[in-house]
Structures are given as structure tokens and as C-alpha cells.
Structure 1
């Protein structure tokens, strides 16, 4: 199915059928699905015939109400999650690092994938030892067709759509190691959602605006025009001699305002609620954090 044939998809469990997982478009095009579900509002969805956002099929005419909102992609679909570090000019400034000349890439395993509220994000025991859990609000990019050695000019032709992500991090481990895969790869450390927005709706991802809010307090606020490496540049770079399969999730870096860069530092505690808002269209990814 072409990305142009859908606008905004959700993956969900419908009320009255806990064994089913469905794909569809919110009936109200203006609703922030993440906020509505968090507030207990009824969100109706026009159901599609497919079983995955990678092949959603066509509208069936059926309408269902969300009981449980899921991550747009299933864990079996993402493969290894590609992550870009240090990719906002303001963020590099706040942590005192020079702007990179090439994208900094690290990986998260598929077990890091998690969904929006009501799914909790677990703060690992290792992170609790010295209270070093941190948030990173990010744009997620989902590959829609096999990409290898693609040009920057053609890169967006391979993108299915966009979602919100929180790159949850354990800072002590990150700062004690040259590689970041361990400190950012814990189970559930990559919640995404609440929707997948088609590239047909947002032809230029630099128009997205991102906010991060902890317990309702705004800590991050930045446009994607502050990226050091644009979305087309990232997709092209990652595809060089590496096959990016459909379903590949790329998270594109976080702007200024992370906890480790603040005075005093902000850390994630048991019971904290963190929201990643990306507008237009994507909406708000909300998670409540729980100690392991």
C-alpha cells in the first residue's frame, strides 16, 4: 500500500475483543490520540483490513473504539533500531560537545521497543542505583520499502511515515562507556507512538515541532529545523551498503533540555509521567515510569 493512501494510522486493541489487534485511522482527524486515551476518552477508529502499518490494506467500513493503544510497529517488525546521537545544534551546545561531521549512530535491540500509555516504561535496577534515568524526546522515522545506497534526494521516497519516540537513557553507563548501545538498550527503553503519520501529510519533516513534558512541565521545545543532519541525510547515510528493511525504525536525536544538561539535573523517578508531543498530526506519546 502506498503511503499516500493513508493519512494517520493507529495500532490498537478494540473494546470488547481483547484478543484482536487492529489497524486503522482515527475517525476524528483532529484528535490527539495519545492525550485522549490517557484521559480515558473514547477514540473511534475506521478499521483497515491489514494486520500491520507496513501493509494496512484498505478501509473496511467497520468502526471500533480503542481499548488499548499499541506501538504503531510490532516488536517483530523493527529489526535493530537505528539511533542518531547528538543531532540538534542546541543540544550539542548544552552538553558542551562539538558539532559532528558525520552522524553518530548507535543501536537499540528490538526488545527496547515499547508502546504508549497505558504501557509503562521500566526504570532498570541499574539505573536506580544512582538515579541516572533520563528522557530524550525524538522524531521516529519508519522505512516503508527496502532501502540501500539511496541518495539524499530520493531518501524520503523510502519513508513510510513518522511517529514520536522517547530515547530513554541510563546516563552513568553512557558516560562510562564509548559505546551507547548498553546504556540506551534496556528492555522497553524505546516507546513510540501514538500514531504513524504518512509522508503524504508531511512532505517536509523539518516542519515538525517537538516538545517534551515531565509531569506537565515543559522541558524540551524545539523545531526539527534545528537538526544537524536532516531526515533525508540520515536515511541516505544509514542506507550506505546497509539494507534498511521495511519496518526499520530510525530515531533522529533529541533537542536541548535533557535532564543531564539541566541545573539541577532532572531524572526519571518511579511514577513520573513523560509526554513527547510532535505536531502537526503525530500527537502526544505519553508514558508513566515504574521502577523495575
Structure 2
């Protein structure tokens, strides 16, 4: 199933996408998709299967507002080589604030008084459907409600100057998510998906989740040993080679750019870049 949140005029609906058309789930208008997911994957699938109310003129927005966003750094072997860094011996965890989330088509806003080195990062994002605490890798993977596309937009100058990464990763609009959440039954192997980033029609990243140092199941199990992953939480699983800050010469996003990140089997997430007004 391809699940999401759509806007029709001023109303929002948790919905399912079928062949490019959106149908409202059988829940009250305005019910957040994360609330639906908390009812369990089987219940969500039943709601999606019986959804018959078509939503004309529906516009996809961010599929959910996560309770927390857990992100993983240096998790792609090709990115580690690109950055000239040592392989970490355990997952490198940081956080992005939920207030950074935007949806497809919404602008990434660059405040030039804060940052001049804004980078893109295409990522596979796992959406949690079942509470996970001290989970095995098998239990962790079974607790995934679905997968979506994320762009871990990063203010590199803030990230590296601050030493810890939260501020540079959490500026408003710096976490595009969407366009849909695809349930695990449609993702045969999360470790065999192509990821791409295109900026102004130029391919910047083109890799595969097979390059992950720590796979999705291992990452979720590792996180769950330290803190509970709750329904609606999102785990960003890292980015491959092709980040602009590691190019020679360095590339950064600028107002007027359009950045599109995609993950095979899920879709593309396209956002314009604007300056702070």
C-alpha cells in the first residue's frame, strides 16, 4: 500500500494512493497518519483496502509529523570513501527536530545570515509502526510500518563548527519527507533499492542501499537498545556518495535551485530552494 496525507482545500486526510488517485481512509478528516499507524500495520492495511471515497484535487503533503527523527551518519561505504573518513564501528546517531519536516513541493528555505553551505542527502527513511525496545534485528524489521523518501538537508558550516550536528541538521524546512509511505509488503528487500539526487536536472547522487554499512534491521535494533522507537517515529538510514560539500569544487544549494531525491519503489521528492524573506 502507498499511504500518505493529502490536502483538499484546507482539510487534511490520511489517504491511500492507487494508480495515481487518492482515497480517504475510513477515519475522521484531520486524523494524523501517525495515529492510524499506531493502530498496527494489519489495521492500517484493512483501512486502506476498504477506502472508497476518492479525493479529487488532492495535494500530497508531508505524510506524517514524527514524534522524533533519528538519523544515522556515515552509513554508506561509498560516502565514507568520498569523505576520506574511517568506518565507524557502530552506528553514528544524531537527531533532527520534527519542526524541520516539510512535504513534497514545499520550499527549502536558506537563511543566508545563518548558513552558506547547504547540502543535499538522499535517504531511505523507515517509519515505525510498533513500539521497539531491546528488539532483535528480526523484531525490529517486523516493526516497520513502511518506508518513505527523505532529504537530510544539512547546513555543513553549522554542522562542523558546532561539532555536534543537531542545529545544522534541524533548521526549519531541512527535512523534506514523502511523497508516500510504502508498506513493507511492497518493498521486497530494503537493502537493494536505488537512491538518486538530481539538482537542476543534474544527477548528483546515484547509489544503492546495498552500500549501507549497517542495514535497516541492524540500525533499528541498535537504536532500540538505547531508547524506545514509537509508532510514527522516523529513522533516516544515511546517505551515499555525491554530497555537494565533498565535491571539488564544493557545491551548495542556492535559492532558485530545485532538488529532487528519489528511492526506488517509493517515488520522488521534489523541493524548490528559496532564500529567507
TM > 0.5: yes
Aligned to 1:139: 124
Match of 2:104 among 94, 106, 116: 116
Deviation at 1:204, TM superposition (A): 1.9
Deviation at 1:125, TM superposition (A): 3.0
Deviation at 1:274, TM superposition (A): 0.3
- SS of residue paired to 1:228: coil
> In the superposition, relative to structure 1, how do residues 148 and 276 fare at CA in structure 2: closer, same or farther (>3 Å)?
same
- SS of residue paired to 2:11: coil
Comparing 269-278 with 58-67, which one deviates more in the overlay? 58-67
> In the superposition, relative to structure 1, how do residues 225 and 24 fare at CA in structure 2: closer, same or farther (>3 Å)?
same
**1:229 equivalenced with 2:214 (yes/no):** yes
Alignment of 1:74-89 (within 5 A): 74=65, 78-89=66-77
**1:273 equivalenced with 2:250 (yes/no):** no
Deviation at 1:127, TM superposition (A): 4.2
**1:11 equivalenced with 2:5 (yes/no):** yes
CA contact (8 A) 2:22 2:58 kept: no
Match of 2:243 among 244, 248, 258: 258
Deviation at 1:45, TM superposition (A): 1.1
**1:73 equivalenced with 2:79 (yes/no):** no
Could you tell me the TM-score, scaled by structure 2's length?
0.91
Aligned to 1:288: 272
Q: In 2, distance between residues paired with 1:200 and 1:215?
A: 33
Aligned to 1:3: none
Q: Which runs of 5+ in 2 are unaligned?
A: 37-43
Q: In 2, distance between residues paired with 1:249 and 1:145?
A: 12
Q: In 2, distance between residues paired with 1:67 and 1:154?
A: 35
CA contact (8 A) 2:16 2:51 kept: no
Aligned to 1:103: 91
Q: Which runs of 5+ in 1 are unaligned?
A: 1-6, 29-42
Q: Which runs of 4+ in 1 moved over 4 A?
A: none
Match of 1:184 among 169, 177, 197: 169
Match of 1:217 among 193, 202, 211: 202
- SS of residue paired to 2:148: strand
Match of 1:46 among 23, 40, 44: 23
Deviation at 1:242, TM superposition (A): 1.0
Comparing 216-225 with 65-74, which one deviates more in the overlay? 65-74
Instruction: Provide Cα deviations, 1:69-110, integer angstroms capped at 9, x if missing partner.
Output: 211103xxx122100001100101111101100000111111
Could you tell me the TM-score, scaled by structure 1's length?
0.86
**1:154 equivalenced with 2:145 (yes/no):** no
Deviation at 1:25, TM superposition (A): 2.2
Count of equivalent residues: 262
CA contact (8 A) 1:270 1:289 kept: yes
Q: In 2, distance between residues paired with 1:209 and 1:254?
A: 11
Deviation at 1:44, TM superposition (A): 2.2
Deviation at 1:65, TM superposition (A): 2.6
Q: In 2, distance between residues paired with 1:149 and 1:170?
A: 33
Q: In 2, distance between residues paired with 1:65 and 1:97?
A: 49
CA contact (8 A) 1:124 1:186 kept: no
C-alpha RMSD over aligned residues: 1.4
